[in-house]
A and B are shown apart, each in its own frame.
Chain A
Amino acid sequence: MLTVRAYSYFNYMAAPDPRSFLPLKPVDLEMLLALAEQDLHGYGLVQAISEHTDGLLVLDPGNLYRVVKRLLSDGLMAEADREARDASERRKYYRITPLGGRVLTKELDRLRLLVNATSTRQTVKRWTS
């Protein structure tokens, strides 16, 4: 893992390897999933994630913006330059970056592989019956 990071650091200016970000933390995954659908502001993000996780994950402002800060500095998401709908609506919207999209796809691929693996299926079968 460490060597991959170092490698990606040297190639940062060119194009960071999406795989260097894997596996994603659950919160990061949820955020990127929500943003992949549409650009959202902070409250929208919290609501989307809460809905998607059946209310299991409700972020407080501190937690949310800590993740936002990290994803911004990793270049996985960015501020959306979006026209405000009206004057009172001057929130910051966030969008997913192309890099973020690639990371998300790779992570979903990884999860799909994991879920579909024969060993996983056997495990599930053993513990649900």
Chain B
Amino acid sequence: MILFNLLLRLFPRAFRESFGVEMRRLFVDQHLEARRRGIAATGGLWMRTVTGMTATAWRERREGRRGGFGRMRVLETLSADLRLTFRMLIARPLFTALIVAAISIGVGGVATIFSGLNALVLRPLPGATDGDSLVGIDRRNPDFSEGVSSSVRFYEHLRDSSRSLSGVAVWSRVPLTVVVGREAYSLSGNIVSNNYFDVLGVRPTLGRFFDPGSGVRDAAEPSMILSHATWLAHFGGDPSIVGRSVAVNGRPYLVIGVAPAAFRGVFTPIRIDAWVPLSTQPHVHPQRDLTDQAWLWTFGRLQPGIPTSQARSELATLTTAWTAAGRDGYVRYTSIRLTPLTGLPDDARQALLGFGAVLLGAATLVLIIAAANVSTLLAMRATARRREMGIRTALGAGRGRLVRQLLTETLTLFLLGGFGGTLLAAVGTGALERLPIPADQGLSLELSPDMRVLIFSLAVSLAVGLLFGIVPALRSASRNPVTLLKTSSAGGGRRTLTTSGLIVAQMTCSLVLLTTAGLFVRAVTAGASIDPGFDARNVALASFNTRAYGYDESQGRAFYLALRQRLESAPGVEAVTYADRTPLTMSNSGGTVTVDGSGPDGKERKQMRVEVGIADSGYFDTLGIRLIAGRDFAREDVSGNGAVAVVNETFVRRAWPGLHPAGVVGRTIFSATRPVTIIGVAADSKYSTIDEPATPFVYRPQAQRWDAGRTLFVRVTGDPAAADRTIQNAVAAIDPLLPRITVTTLTREASTALLPQRVAALVTGVLGVAGLFLAAIGLYGLVSYGVALRLREIGVRLALGASRGDVVRMILGQGLRLTMIGTVLGLIASAFATRFVAAYLLNVSAMDGVAFTGAVVVLLVVAVLAAVVPARRAGSADPLIVLRTE
């Protein structure tokens, strides 16, 4: 439907306004009917609609434009060219369909990747007004390597002092529990400054947004804004919701408005269900404050006409002045970076751009293969059309006119392919959106192509068409008509050479794609075989946040204790624990500790950067991590008693080289100035990512610090997915009003660690197959063509006593020679190209022998298959018939 809407856009506005709705309705009916009749009918309908609509739209526009006198002549020749072109294309439907399909595949790959990148990092924020003037504001250290969030005071400073920005706003994430009737729902909320919607230029669908005039510390009745989807899902789309009170985290909040459907927040991949103002912080986010703590994301809108660089230097000056005056503790962060506000934080944006560039490179290879393929087909047809060109030249057609006609044909084919590619991209992005990505937040990916993608696809198609079409066009039109008319068939040597070159290029590109895909597949298997140091099997997990349930600290502790006790006595449960993070989900939190007695004399002090995790008793048992020395956390390790910690082996090696783990139990380390006693040493495991280097890690007991958010881990005897019921029942038994929680398994969550490799293996694999398929067709076409040209020679050879085997070997050899050249070039190109993907390969070498050998074998097998069919046909020719007909 997107493509159809884009096609509609081609019509003049007046036409669209009178008939657009009806046209869309008609197409929907036709589409339904075609779908009933099968895939062929649907394809036919699309083909007919795309060509018909483009042609009529163009005619409509031309009629509307009548009167522009100067352009008339050009338009007339163009229209004559186009009419001729359409006739040529329709006269050979199979040829046209084949070429359009090849270009569609090539453009489709590029368009799919571009569409995904466009949706995630390029296009301005969906739902916002004039998104190009919105900037993300990032407080950084002078070399931009590290950043810090904004505090409320810092935000107010920027908001009140900046002259180059018309507005500055902040936001952060906060979990909310909303009770509607007797049901409770977990919502993913944003806590935002009052001017958030005004700075973004979002208008409410219903009611109003927060009052930008009131300050963050003004006491007022807490209010809330619902997302469009939440309003529909939980409140039945009832407009009377505005002005009603609903219970949020145990307190009444006034619903004052509903956001428009198109607006999905500033961080678009994560679903947002509701917004609350900063003034609700003491209730919904009590561990933060409204003064100096840094916890807010910042963005602003540039004043009209102010360039980003000017705004950046002004904000940097404001920040330097702020730190120089000693207004907060983040003295190292004196600079500012401004980034386009596109729905992703800048770091993720850069990472995704890098990853996307690799995939885009792979897709470009397929496009080159497709274009080379089409070029070969066009060159073959040009040979067939030499007579036509000769006649037209003889009748007085100028060379320019012929070149223009040929180019019009090629470009029309590529334009049709561009549309086809966009259609494929709509399908492809749909598949990408459905990739299973485990996440503790509801995701909302929206990657479908928009106008920008269509324009991009058409531009790419035209550029490639021009690049690959101009040479054949010039050459076809350049011949002397007399020679053209005299020789009937048999192509010149130069043309076959070009064609062979194009086949070699296709083989080269295919091999690069295959090796890349092979490397990613190897990376996935290698990653899966890395021992993470814990046992993910039979572990179910679920995340909780008791603050979102309206509990204070003592209620929260009681809840977690009760839940644990209930689960421990449940059937089929082996062990239960809590932790602050799930391993291998790319989450981490670091800290610095001071280690005593690290020197040989036991006097030296040293600072160490470590990763810190919070775990409850039974953690090592539940996750199957070996305790090498000392003991696990126990019930008596509570806040009142001395602080304790369990460290890992790497910590011991770094802190006290040469010391046996058993020897460090009882030693003291310092977190800031607080002494912490080491009570145990755990085996190393993987914490954040599967390919991380050995990291010094410190576990601290949950009983010694309160945090409302925890993740529950339950080791069961059977299938962990079946633990869902057990956990839900236990939660409901403690408090029936709690929202339904999401239970997943550790195996599933930890698979996030290999997500980039999986996506890359999938995408390059699909592209590799598409590329290889196109290249095989190209080779098949060339060999068949060669057989057709040499049929006479083959007949003579057979008549003179050559065996059929000799003929097959001869033809096959011709095809395979090209493949071998392509293979050698492809291996060289691969060795160069795979360096760009080395960063994503875990511990697989970029020159991995298995991947390279596998790719070569696949390429050779497919090439032999593609060449053997026409070769056998040549071998089975009857010399008598051949010689008689030729």
Contact = CB atoms under 8 A, between A and B. Distances in A.
A91 B22 contact: yes
A60 B31 CA distance: 11
B729 interface: no
B15 interface: yes
Contacts of B56: 60, 62-63, 66
B26 interface: yes
B29 A43 contact: yes
A62 B57 contact: yes
Interface string B1-12: 000000100010
A24 interface: no
A26 interface: no
| The 6 residue pairs across chains A and B that have the minimum distance between CB atoms | A60-B52, A62-B56, A62-B53, A61-B23, A42-B26, A65-B19
**Dominant secondary structure of chain A at its interface with chain B:** helix
A37 B681 CA distance: 91
B interface bracket (residues with beta carbon within 8 Å of A): 20 to 34
Nearest to A70: B63
Interface string A65-78: 11011000000000
B60 A43 contact: no
A61 B27 contact: yes
Contact of A42 (B22, B49, B52, B59): B22
A69 B19 contact: yes
Given A60-B52, A61-B23, A62-B52, A43 B18 contact: no
Contacts of A58: 48
A93 B849 CA distance: 68
A42 B18 contact: no
A49 interface: no
B817 interface: no
B111 to A, nearest CB: 23
A69 B17 CA distance: 12
A35 interface: no
Q: Most chain-A Cβ atoms within 10 A of its Cβ — which of B19, B24, B25, B27? A: B19
A63 B26 CA distance: 12
B48 A42 contact: no
Contacts of A43: 25-26, 29-30
Contacts of B23: 42, 61-62, 64-65
Given A68-B19, A69-B18, A69-B19, A62 B11 contact: yes
Contacts of A41: 22
Contacts of B25: 42-43, 91
A41 B26 CA distance: 9
B26 A61 contact: yes
Nearest to B10: A62
A58 B29 CA distance: 13
**Dominant secondary structure of chain B at its interface with chain A:** helix
A95 B165 CA distance: 59
Interface in B264-279: none
Interface in B606-638: none
Contact of B60 (A66, A68, A92): A66
Contacts of B19: 65, 68-69
A60 B25 CA distance: 12
Interface in A34-65: 41-43, 46, 58-65
B666 to A, nearest CB: 79
Given A43-B29, A43-B30, A46-B30, A65 B22 contact: yes
Nearest to B46: A60
Contacts of A62: 7, 11, 23, 49, 52-57
A3 to B, nearest CB: 22
A69 B26 contact: no
Nearest to B15: A69
A69 B27 CA distance: 17
Nearest to A43: B29
Nearest to B50: A60
22 contacts: A42-B22, A42-B26, A43-B25, A43-B29, A43-B30, A46-B26, A58-B48, A60-B49, A60-B52, A61-B30, A61-B52, A62-B7, A62-B55, A62-B57, A63-B56, A64-B26, A65-B15, A65-B22, A65-B23, A69-B15, A69-B19, A92-B22
Q: Most chain-A Cβ atoms within 10 A of its Cβ — which of B7, B26, B48, B57? A: B26
B41 to A, nearest CB: 11
Q: Most chain-B Cβ atoms within 10 A of its Cβ — which of A60, A62, A64, A92? A: A62
Contacts of A42: 22-23, 25-26
A46 B28 CA distance: 13
Given A42-B22, A43-B25, A61 B53 contact: yes
Given A41-B22, A65-B15, A66-B59, 4 more contacts: A42-B26, A46-B26, A62-B52, A69-B15
A69 B56 CA distance: 12
A92 B7 CA distance: 21
Contacts of A64: 23, 26
A43 B15 CA distance: 18
Contacts of A65: 15, 19, 22-23
A93 to B, nearest CB: 10
Contacts of A69: 15, 18-19
A58 B15 CA distance: 21
A63 B7 CA distance: 13
Contacts of A91: 22, 25
A64 B60 CA distance: 12
Contacts of B24: 61
Interface string B41-81: 00000001100111111011000000000000000000000
A42 B25 CA distance: 8
B415 to A, nearest CB: 16
A60 B10 CA distance: 15
Nearest to B19: A65
A108 B186 CA distance: 71
A69 B60 CA distance: 10
A122 B174 CA distance: 88
A58 B51 CA distance: 13
B503 to A, nearest CB: 37
Nearest to A61: B23
Contacts of B60: 66
Contacts of A66: 56, 59-60
B722 to A, nearest CB: 45
A61 B23 CA distance: 5
Nearest to A92: B22
Contact of B53 (A46, A60, A68, A92): A60
Nearest to A68: B19
B739 to A, nearest CB: 37
A25 to B, nearest CB: 14
Contacts of A60: 48-49, 52-53, 56
B756 to A, nearest CB: 42
